[in-house]
Amino acid sequence: MQVSREIDVIADQAFLNHLESLQNWKKKTLPLLMMPQGEEVVTWLMRPGYPPRPLKDLYANSRFSEPTIRIVIQSLVDRKLVVFHCDESDQRVRLIQPTRKLVQILDEYVSRIQSCSTLLGTGSLQ
């Protein structure tokens, strides 16, 4: 029984280490996900198929102020994680779309979360 408990403790520590590594990766790679407003914008952008979407819809549907959302968007633009397009039918409408770079970062993030969850199944933290 003691050996089983020691294995659980080792597995729990490995899981916790992996969680810490995930947090460090997120802070370094996509720090916007550490803030609720950044998380909201990125989630909004990641609709299935990643279609260009009207920027005004983001402002209208956000629980944060427009200036706050503009700061998040500017950070994404600076890192080349989003691009803007003009609506062909109405030049006054600006569309925003995630770049392949953002999609790849988020794919890696999901992969890291999944690998973390496989560790959870081996320990006693369930």
Tens digit of each residue's pLDDT (9 = 90 or more) over 28-87? 998 988 899 999 999 999 988 888 999 999 999 999 999 999 999 999 999 999 999 987
CB-based contacts of 20: which residues, under 8 Å, 6+ apart?
none
Residue 38's identity, in one-letter code, is G
Rounded Cα–Cα distance for residues 27 and 22 (Å)? 9
Token pair belonging to 35: 């803030």
**Higher per-residue confidence, 84 vs 92:** 84
Using a pLDDT cut of 90, give the percent of the chain over it.
55
Q: Residue 101 pLDDT more than 50? A: yes
Are residues 3 and 118 in contact, defined by beta-carbon separation less than 8 angstroms?
Answer: no
pTM exceeds cut of 0.85: no
